[in-house]
Structure 1
Amino acid sequence: MAIQTTNLGLTLPSYEDAADIAVLSQNFEKIDVAAAQAAAAYRFTQVLLAELESRLSTLELKYGTNVTGNPFSVGFDALTGLEVAGVWNQPYARVEF
């Protein structure tokens, strides 16, 4: 007499039962559905993980960076044609504020 598995409800025939291709096909279809659901759950988990990693990187950048000066700099060779407020440091070719 055949019994059912706990998780997927697959049919497990006993040794006295005749092999039935239809039962095997039903079992394989149940396995295929379960595999597809597991794959979809894995992909969803990967998307969530990527979002969390992105948010963590943002938090680390915001709170884990020790900024002691202006992290932004632009180099100029000359100020011809530009209007800039600040002090031009000729040896370093930069505007200092």
Structure 2
Amino acid sequence: MTTPFGYVAAAVAEITGCFAFWAWLRSGKSMIWIVPGLTSLAAFACLLTLVDSAAAGRAYAAYGGVYVAPLIGLWSVERPRADRWDAIGAAVCLLGANVILIGLRPA
């Protein structure tokens, strides 16, 4: 699995799982929403183990930066909408994730 795909798939799974719990606890949905929530969160954990990284901490740190990018898309359907500071912050996070992933390290 390629690293960018792994991070994107993990982010989608995490957001989906968290949304399922949000829907149950905050939107009055049935407890049955826990099932897809748990399934999505388990998929998130499994997907993140598949990315190419020499260390778990590095993988999770880089994922944190990648995770922010989909939030810009979510803001497009929510209120309040993203502003320039949200976009700049997301760009900084993505830049940081790339530094972690692509940074030159001694062999």
Structure 1 length as normaliser, TM-score?
0.33
> Which gives a bigger RCO, structure 1 or 2 (Cα 8 Å, sep 6+)?
2
Higher fraction of helix: 2
Higher fraction of strand: 1
Structure 2 length as normaliser, TM-score?
0.30
Greater gyration radius: 1
